[in-house]
Amino acid sequence: MSAAPARHSYGKIPEMLEVGNLIETQLNSFRWFVERGLRELFDEINPITDYTGKNYELRFLDYSFGEPKFDQEECRNRDMTFAAPLRIMTRLHIKTGESAGEIKESEVYLGDFPMMTGEGTFLVNGTERVVVSQLVRSPGVYFTAGAEHPITGRPLYAVKFIPNRGAWLEIETSNKDILTAAGVDPSSITSWATLTAALAKVKAIGDTGITFSGINTEEGSFQFLPWFWGSGANLKKLDSADAISAFSLLAGWVKSGYAPNSVIQNTQTTSWQEFLAKKTAFSENGTWQLAGVKASGMNYGIISIPGKNSGSAPAPTGGEFLTIPVQKNTARYKVTEKIVSCLIGTDNSVATDNTLSYIAPTAAAQAKQVAGNDSLVPWVKAVKDAKGRTSDNLGTKYPKISQQMWTALQASLTGSQTPAAAAAAAQTAAAAATQ
């Protein structure tokens, strides 16, 4: 390396005090971490035992750093990290079994550890970086009171958990709490009008009302059908007044800001991810997301999709089917019957559907599912009210009609066509495709 250029001062006032070592704190801090800090970390988890605490015991004895593989200049030139290998001496004590009492010691390579340069910096991927010291609150629990809620007028509170080591935990409002803050009673949502009014209240407090999948695939049709059928519309007439009202409902939500623009390309998965962000009050989805919402710790509730004026909207059916081959030897059907009976028996059906997060097709199996998980009640009701996508004697015509329906939904959501014009174009194309 070339020597640093000589520095000259042109000031008229002489220096009264010599400038101290401004990076001394960083150098001393890193030296302490390497020499003592790592040892304290290992001591915190020392020893490690198996889950019973009776079979094995692993102790960390000592650690050491090797020489960096590349020097600082080479790391700069080759876009590499200036690091040294960290190794630790371990001792394994076997307490049970044939090798009981045996003690094994070995050196374990833990990885390359970034090392600080003499200038108090780190070289990471060839770039020189510094660590900026921060003031951090002491470990503990902190409660804060914020501004009053804009609608309820009640003060808003927050709590923050700061551990001695590890990630901070902050408690924030979740989706059911959004409804409480907006003054929405979920039981009051019994029609499109009451749902839309609830979405308006949610938007008023700065959150998103609802998310769903409006993508231009069968998935978009699948999520649109409850609103389509809930209006009283029939798939044979995509441009009926009822059908137009369903297109207009969802398009109106996007236009009013009750639903995000992302619904235009949302799948069921991405719309669910939006919901889990805890800034959206409602999400249209099925039982397969129930395990995820429970794991998230979210305060949630479940309601059926309302019909246009009242009641629950029919949901499209789906699921798994058994295909039985035709046998030349008809005697083999007895074995087939046993296999099918085993698979669709109540107990096995419940076990399978619970694993897949589905609703069983029979009343006996549904009753068992609800007995074990009462949160499935709304979905059991939805299955009883459900409707097949190929119903109304559509059969193989359905996919062609569905394609035109999701095309009309896209046009309505994006605003490229009015719902009425989009529905008319869809009906014309569907009629031509199914002749």
For 377-401, what is each residue's pLDDT tens digit?
Answer: 887 888 888 888 888 889 899 999 9
The set of residues, in sequence order, having a beta carbon less than 8 Å from that of 351 and lying 6+ positions away, is: none
Residues 6+ apart with CB under 8 A from 317: 383, 386, 387, 388, 389
Q: Where in the chain is the domain with CATH 3.40.190.10?
A: 186-317+387-433
Torsion from C-alpha of 280, 283, 287, 291, nearest 10 degrees: -10
Amino acid 171: pLDDT: 58
Q: Is the pTM of this model over 0.85?
A: no
User: Once rounded to an integer, what is the mean pLDDT over residues 222-237?
Assistant: 95
Per the CB < 8 A criterion, the answer to whether 379 and 359 are in contact is: yes
CATH of domain 186-317+387-433: 3.40.190.10
Instruction: Spell out the residues 6+ positions from residue 422 whose beta carbon is closer than 8 angstroms to its own.
Output: 247, 407, 408, 409, 411, 412
- pLDDT bin (cut points 50, 70, 90) of residue 151 is very low
Tokens of 401: 């009609």
pLDDT of residue 435: 85
pLDDT per position as a tens digit, 344-360 = 889 988 888 888 778 88
What is the Cα–Cα distance from 379 to 250, expressed in whole angstroms?
Answer: 22
Instruction: State which of 51-65, 224-238, 364-378 shows the largest mean pLDDT.
Output: 224-238
The DSSP result for 323-356, as a single string, is -----SSGGGHHHHHHHHHHHHSHHHHHHHHHHH
- CA proximity to 348, closest of 365, 373, 372: 365
Q: Looking at residue 149, what is its pLDDT?
A: 47
pLDDT grade for 190, boundaries at 50, 70 and 90: very high
Q: Which two tokens stand for residue 259?
A: 């639903």
C-alpha separations of 15 from 8, 91, 155 in Å: 13, 57, 56
How much is the pLDDT for 195?
96
Which of 190-199, 230-239, 327-336 has the weakest average pLDDT?
327-336
Mean pLDDT score of the chain, rounded to an integer? 85
Higher pLDDT among residues 252 and 154, named by residue: 252
Measure the CA–CA gap between 17 and 27, rounded to whole angstroms. Answer: 22
**Listed range (40-44, 199-203, 243-247, 321-325) with the worst mean pLDDT:** 321-325
Q: Over 70: is that where the pLDDT of 147 sits? A: no
As a whole number, mean pLDDT of residues 41-68 equals 87
Strand partners, 192: none
Amino acid (1-letter code) at residue 381:
K
AA identity, residue 263: V
pLDDT attached to residue 150:
46
pLDDT band for position 4 (cuts 50, 70, 90): low
> What was the pLDDT predicted at 176?
66
Q: Is the pLDDT of residue 3 over 60?
A: no
pLDDT at 152: 43
